[in-house]
Amino acid sequence: MLLSAGGGSLGGVLAATWGSLKPGSLSLADLPSLAMPLNQKLNILVLGSDIAYDSHGKRVEGGSTRSDTLMMIGADPARKRINVLSIPRDTRVLIPGQNSYDKINAAYAIGGPELTMKTVTSFTGVPIDGFLALRVDGLVALVDLIGGVDIHVDERMYYVDETAHLGINIHKGWHHMNGAQAHQYVRFRHDALGDIGRVQRQQTFIRACLERMLNPLVLARLPQIVGTAQQYIDTNVPYRDLVRVANFARGLPKSDIRMVMLPGNFSSGKYLASYWLPNSIAAQNAITDLFPDSALVNQRSMQAETVDRQKTVRVTVLNGSGESMMATKAARALRLSGWNVWAIAPYTRAVAQSQVICQTGITDMAPSLQTALGIPAETVSASVGDISTDFTVIVGKDYAKAFHAHALPGQQSDSAAAPTRR
């Protein structure tokens, strides 16, 4: 959260306070260098770990736990972007030094952050400069310090595990979540999508934190936030580099902070355990797009220039306009422009502004989708849409208003309605 928050004075406040909060790590002599821009790419593996309990529900200090969250963050000053690859914890990989495949989060229990970094590099081909591990109790404290986050819950979340001291009960609707509620939100995985749904909620949570960190009242608390963070963070990245990343991130628009989940599919009974199986081509393309320094870049599957990309990607259209048939009308407009509309469905709520969610991070195609829709929809680079398609278009109230006023594409006929799924 501290790595990628934007805001005009965020980097400066961090640079001015971090030295005094970490005596021995930084000195006054270091402060001028903290104001320097980030001049090289940094790849940092962010880990979140479970708290271990025994069979009687007693906390085990220093117990072997699996990582609950794996995110690879690339701060890329050359491309002026921060890229985040979320790796589902059930991803099936070969862990270096082991004789069989396992879930990627097992690497943390076997060999800690160091083996986890080796595993991620072996799997993605991306060189990792360091790790940052955050305990779940740290998340609670940090969310409380920033004054909570605003998140919409699409369906009620309920789960109780007394042994693991985990009780989740969050009702549908908008919530201003405190630290404990946010912890429940990002831990929950007992819905139809399991761990993949949790990855989506973690990305939603990060976006909510970024929005909150822009609040001037929160910026004023940064010295306390930074001091608290250090109590819960284990990292081998020099703090001056973390501050430089924050300095770099402060001027980035939201569209240049891209969050993508590793493309793949559920194992669906293929193995004894339940795995997330990476889609070899889509995963390779996503990794090399986010991290051009990956060793996989020379193996990337490139589409022939003659292939019409609009016909090869899939689009889901969701109706968040509050009016019936608006998603169908938008889907027709997209089809008339050559897009492959794969599904139409209602959205969980009405939204003011339409959105184009780039599920796999292909943001360069978003303007073409906006043109086909006829409105300036917000581009969201995060894997929070339909996991079976490349783009999710959420039709908002602005589309309905423009449709009634200006005869947008697809208004004349609804005869090309799409099936719910094909």
Span 128-184, pLDDT tens digits:
999 999 887 888 999 999 999 999 999 999 998 866 667 899 999 999 999 999 999
Looking at residue 115, what is its pLDDT? 94
**Distances, alpha carbon 378 to alpha carbons 247, 351, 366, 413, in Å:** 25, 12, 9, 26
SS3 298: helix
Report yes or no on 4 lying in a domain: no
Q: How far apart are CA 203 and CA 349, in angstroms?
A: 19
Looking at residue 56, what is its pLDDT? 44
Least confident of 38-42, 212-216, 312-316: 212-216
The structure tokens listed for 125 are 């081909």
What Rg value do the Cα atoms of the chain yield, rounded? Answer: 22
SS3 219: helix
Is-contact 44 130, C-beta < 8 A? yes
Per-residue model confidence as pLDDT tens digits over 254-285: 888 899 999 999 998 888 889 999 998 889 98
Residue that terminates a domain, selected from 279, 298, 317: 298
The single-letter code of the amino acid at 193 is L
The structure tokens listed for 156 are 């009620």
Report yes or no on 413 lying in a domain: no
Question: Angle at CA 239, nearest 5°, toward 234 and 181?
Answer: 50
Per-residue model confidence as pLDDT tens digits over 39-54: 899 999 999 875 554 4
Residues 131 and 208 in one domain: yes
Per-residue model confidence as pLDDT tens digits over 81-94: 999 999 999 999 99
Around 223, how many Cα atoms within 13 Å sit in the side-chain half-sphere? 6
| Range of the structural domain that residue 192 is part of | 10-298
Report yes or no on 370 lying in a domain: yes
The structure tokens listed for 196 are 């993949």
Residues 274 and 347 in one domain: no
Residue that terminates a domain, selected from 298, 317, 347: 298
**Distances, alpha carbon 249 to alpha carbons 32, 83, 244, 356, in Å:** 18, 11, 9, 23
pLDDT at 31 over 60: no
Residues 344 and 207 in one domain: no
CATH number at residue 237: 3.40.630.190
DSSP codes joined into one string, 45-86: EEEEEPPPB-TTS-B-TT----EEEEEEEEEETTTTEEEEEE
**Distances, alpha carbon 74 to alpha carbons 42, 44, 49, 214, 247, in Å:** 6, 6, 21, 21, 14
Residue that terminates a domain, selected from 264, 298, 332: 298
**To 10 degrees, the CA torsion angle through 181, 203, 385, 377?**
110
CATH number at residue 351: 3.30.70.2390
What residues contact 398, with CB distance under 8 A and at least 6 apart?
A: 352, 353, 354, 375
Q: Angle between the 397-406 and 326-336 helix axes, to the nearest 10 degrees?
A: 70
Residues 272 and 388 in one domain: no
Share of the chain above pLDDT 90, in %: 52
Domain count, the chain: 2
Looking at residue 354, what is its pLDDT? 97
Report yes or no on 107 lying in a domain: yes
Residues 203 and 313 in one domain: no
Is-contact 345 319, C-beta < 8 A? yes
Backbone angles phi, psi at 85, to 5 degrees: -110, 115
